[in-house]
Amino acid sequence: MTRLCLTLCRPTLEENLEDLKNSSPDLAELRIDLLTDLESYPRGSLLSFPEKAGLPLILTCRKTADGGAWSGTDSQREALLLELMEGGYSYIDLEEDEDSKALHRKAREKGILIIRSFHDFLSVPEDLEERLESMSHRGDLVKAALMPRGINDLLILFQAGRTWQERHPGEDRLIILGMGAYGVPSRILAPLMGCFLTFCSPPGAEAAPGHMSWETLHELYRVQELTAETGLYGIIGNPVLHTRSPQIHNPGFRAAGINAVYVPFTVDDLDAFFTLANFLNISGFSVTVPHKEAVRAFLQQEDEAVQVVGACNTVVRMKGSRQGWEGFNTDVIGFIEPLKEKIPTLKEKKAAVIGAGGAARSAVFALLQEGCELSIFNRSENRALQMAEEFCCAGGSLDSFKEKTDSGETYDLIIQTTTVGMGEGKPEEEQENPIPFFAFTGKEVLYDIIYIPRETPLMAKASRAGCTVLGGMPMLLEQGRAQFRLFTGTNL
């Protein structure tokens, strides 16, 4: 079982103890180099900390050259670690190039296990497997923390993990992880590499790039329960870590009693991702920007919505004698079902769609299927006219939309599909409205497909006018339910 290790990175021991009370990790790492005024810190407090913590502790004093905060001399660091090893620490982290015989001897004398580690904050080294092997003869556990620069680097990490397991069957002493956005899946799927542990940070802190909280890894991804039999699903995009989809699918798996996990993959190269998907035997995945159109080149089959809309947001591995991948578009049903709950009969309703991107295509297809009278308006008139011609409806620029509404033309539905207004925590002066000129009468239904924030400036304006307002969260949930059915054959 892969253990969850909480990195204690607060400036005081008291704060670190409080973090331990708020989580239940299997073990913890005390980063003494991050303590305030370490040189003057009472040695008694540091020596007694393991007893107060009440769980196995890794003693770490990371040098600045290795991404830490220790700026003293090597001899001072050695003396400090030798002194603290008299306490009840279970492990000590020593860098790959640490050659202190005194530290090695003291660890053996005290029964402290040595973690030999190296960090590369720039890349994944080509000789990764060789370096892991070299360290394996100089420590009880080996650790590599690396910075993948793309999805292909992430593949190299998983390949190195598998190679290690083949060379060291039955051993439980590898720690390998990727930092940053591309490395997130390695932290969640650490059990697939046979990792001894995966690190997490306290709430509101990030001890290293890509760290997640104990609660996220324990509750959302259930890392300690993952095995070789766990079904793998995910979402690909760039960026993608903001997605709420894991909060839909992982609780769904748990509620349905399905041994599966859903993981975000930041993807810069689709070809490399499909190689990784086959290596990990991923069963299916969601697709978000910018890959909804390009992913079609890797599909062997598509549903009608993908073919008409020209975009795919769900990919499932084909079963049985067929090989390859099948693509679906659940954005269409995800978009229309929440709207139909507000307006059961959409036939002949007059709708203005704002935007002419991939999301707009799904909305236009769905609305036309329901019999709406449709106009597409976009900042770039050419894109709006091109889409309007393709779907046999009206189109124009946002300026033309303003002209029409200023002259008294009305619409039953305003469908906002752009990213304008997206984002959380922006100051009020930076919040945007894609159609600031539009004067709501209170009779319109506004549907803004953005779900972060839950209320955009446009939605707030429509609400003040007395309009029926629908945000993007119901769409996200509905398309997620449709994806879940495609992934599992079970309703969410």
SS3 call for 456: coil
The overall longest dimension of the chain from CA atoms, in Å, is 87
Of the candidates 184, 276, 286, the residue with the CA atom closest to the CA atom of residue 237: 286
Q: How far apart are CA 313 and CA 282, in angstroms?
A: 16
Q: How many residues are listed for the chain in this entry? A: 492
What is the residue type of 292?
K
Task: Report d(CA 81, CA 103) in Å as an integer.
Answer: 8
User: Both tokens of residue 360?
Assistant: 């707009």
Q: How far apart are CA 70 and CA 188, in angstroms?
A: 29
Nearest to 38 by CA among 17, 58, 10, 66: 10
Q: How far is CA 20 from CA 48, 59, 301, 361, in A?
A: 15, 15, 50, 49
Note whether 92 and 115 are within 8 A (CB): yes
SS3 of 227, please?
A: coil
Closest of 221, 265, 336, 284 to residue 485, by C-alpha: 284
Please, what is the Cα angle at 347 between 468 and 339, to 5 degrees?
35
Contact 417, 456 (CB under 8 A): no
CB 201 within 8 A of CB 8: no
Which has the closest alpha carbon to 274: 243, 312, 236, 307? Answer: 236
Among 52, 106, 143, 292, the one annotated catalytic: 292
- Rounded Cα distance, 328 and 306, in Å: 6
Tokens 């319109």, residue? 444
Q: How far apart are CA 150 and CA 128, in angstroms?
A: 16
Other residues' Cβ atoms within 10 Å of the Cβ of residue 467 = 18
- Residue 376 burial (CB < 10 Å; 0-12/13-18/19+)? buried
Cα distance between residue 420 and residue 213, in whole Å: 30
DSSP designation for 86: T
Known catalytic membership, residue 292: yes
Which residues carry out catalysis? 292
